[in-house]
Amino acid sequence: MKDNKNVEAPDSNLQRPTSKKTWNLAPGTWNPNSSPLEPRTSYPKLLTLIILGLILTLTLSFVIADSPALSTIESMMDIIKSDYYKDVDDEVLIRGAIDGMFKVLDPHSGYYNNKEFQELQASLSGEFSGVGMQVERKNDRVTVVSPIEGTPAFKAGIATGDIILSVDGKDIKDLPLDQAVALIRGEAGTKVKLEVVKADKGDVVYIELIRQMIKLDSVKTTSIYNQTIDKYTADKRIGYIRITEFDQGTADDFKALLEKYKKEGKKGLIIDLRYNPGGLLSTVVDMCKEIIPEGPIVHIDTKGDKNDEVYSSTLKTPPFKIVVITNEGSASASEILTGAVKDSGVGKIVGTKTYGKGTVQTMGYLTNGDGVKMTIAEYLTRNKIHIDGKGIMPDVEVKPQAPEELANVKADRDLTKGIVGLDVYGIQQRLQDLGYKITTDGILDTSTIEASGKLLNKTMTKIIKEDQKAIVKKYEETKITNIVDIELKTAVDEMIKLLK
C-alpha cells in the first residue's frame, strides 16, 4: 500500500515489522594491490553481505554463501577500479550494484540510504515535505498513482497516470525510484519544476511547484469537491466518510466517527476512497474488522505453501450497509477494503475500476542506518481473487463529468482593452461559466473588464496580473462548490436502495 509510494514516492501495501529488525553489515577490508581479474581474497564483506543479505522474508533473515556470481561482481569491481578512465568510489559501485538488483524486481522494492529511509518512515507518519503525490515505476517510467488532495501537486492538476520525465531539468528515466523521489522532495518553500506527460492527452507540460509540509488529514466528512452529503440527501440514516490514506492514525479516527454515527442512529455508511493510494496493511485490516461481516478480510500469499496468512473479521452483525466509491486512483489498501466489501456482500461498489495494486511490502533495517523495502507477498481478496494489475470493477460504474477545457491564464502580462490572446480567452471562459454575459472571442473588451471588476468587487480599466490570478482562484473556489458530484449522488441513490 505504500511503496515507494510515499508521497513523491513509490506505491505499496506496507506491512511494518512489529519490532525493529536489523541486518548486520561487517566492515571488511580493501586490498588495492589485487589484480584486475582476480577476486580479492579479502574483498569488503559489506558488498558480499548486502548482495547475499537482501533476501528479505517475514523474519528479515539473510544468508551468506560463496557463489560464482559474487566472484564475478568482485572481478567487475576490480576491472572498473583498474581500467575505467575516472576514479569511482567503492560506495558508488556498491550502491549501483544494489540498485541494479532491485531494478529487476518489481517497482515497489528498493534500497534506501539513511536519509532516504528516514524520509520513507516520515511519510508513514502522515507528515513530510514535498509536493504531494504517490508515484511508482510503471513501464520503466515514474508514474503518478494518485495526487494527494489539497497539496501542490493536486492543485496543479497532476493526475493518476501522468508520467514524470524530468525534475529541474534532470532526466529521471534511468534513476532508481527512490532517487527520483528524493529529487522531487525537498525543503518546504523551495521550488521544483517537473516535466510531465499528461495521461489524458499525451501532451508534455512543465509544471513549477512550491514544496510544502504535507500533513495528511486522512479521515474527512467532506468530498473531494469539499461538499457534504447533505447536498445530495436529507436522509439522516446515511453517514459519509472519506479516507485519503491509511496511515498510522487513520484507524482511530475512523473508529471514532463510526461510534458517532452509531449514536446518531445511522444505518448506512458511504466510504469514499477516490484518489486514496493506500497505506499500512495493519491499518486497513483494523478498520475492516469494524464493518466487514465474519470471515476473511484479505489473504496474504507469500512464497511457498506454508507461510500464507489470512486476516479475518469476527463481526457477527455489521453495524452498517456499505457503499464504497472508487476510481482509478484507489489503490493498494483501498482495494483491500473495497474487495472485502464487495466479496462479503455487505454493500456495493460505485465509481470506476480501481488501480490494481495487489502486493504487500515490508521494511528492513540495516545496522549502518540504511534500509530496505521489499515486496514479500501478493494479497487476494476475501474470495481469493487476484487483483494485481487488474483492479476491481465496481457494481455500478459511474464516470465523473469531463472537466471543461479552459485556456491557460499565465498572468505574465497586464491586459488592456483590445489586446488579443489565449489568456484573455481563458478569463472570458471563466467569467462566462460564472454567469456573466460576455463574448468569448479572446479579445479584451469593455464587458470583460466590467465583469472582472464585478467579480472582484473593484473598479477596473484593465486587468493586471494580480487580478488575473484572483479571477482564476475565485473561479476555482466557486466552481468546485457548485459542481455536481455524480459519483457521490449515485452512491447515495444506491444506499437508499440498500436501506429499503
Q: What are phi and psi of 110, to 5 degrees?
A: -170, 160
| Catalytic residue, candidates 272, 286, 343, 485 | 343
pLDDT per position in the chain (500 positions), as tens? 433 344 454 444 555 433 344 434 433 222 223 222 222 223 333 333 333 333 333 333 334 445 677 788 888 999 999 999 999 998 889 888 888 888 889 888 888 888 878 777 766 665 678 898 888 888 888 999 888 878 899 888 898 889 999 999 999 988 877 788 889 988 899 999 999 999 877 889 999 999 998 877 889 999 988 899 999 999 999 999 999 989 888 999 999 999 999 999 999 999 999 999 898 899 999 999 999 999 999 999 988 766 679 999 999 999 999 999 999 999 999 999 999 999 999 999 999 999 999 998 888 888 888 888 889 899 999 999 999 999 999 999 999 877 678 899 999 999 999 999 999 999 999 999 888 999 999 999 999 999 999 999 999 999 999 999 999 989 988 877 778 899 999 999 999 999 98
| CA–CA dist 374, 361 (Å, integer) | 5
* Catalytic residue flag (residue 357): yes
271 secondary structure, DSSP code: E
| Catalytic residue, candidates 109, 332, 334, 452 | 332
| Catalytic residue, candidates 357, 373, 452, 485 | 357
> CA distances (Å), 398 to each of 114, 130, 325, 487, in order?
44, 32, 10, 6
Angle of CA points 452, 456, 462, to nearest 5°: 45
pTM of the model: 0.70
* Catalytic residue flag (residue 343): yes
Q: By the 8 A CB rule, do 172 and 166 touch?
A: yes
| CA–CA dist 41, 30 (Å, integer) | 10
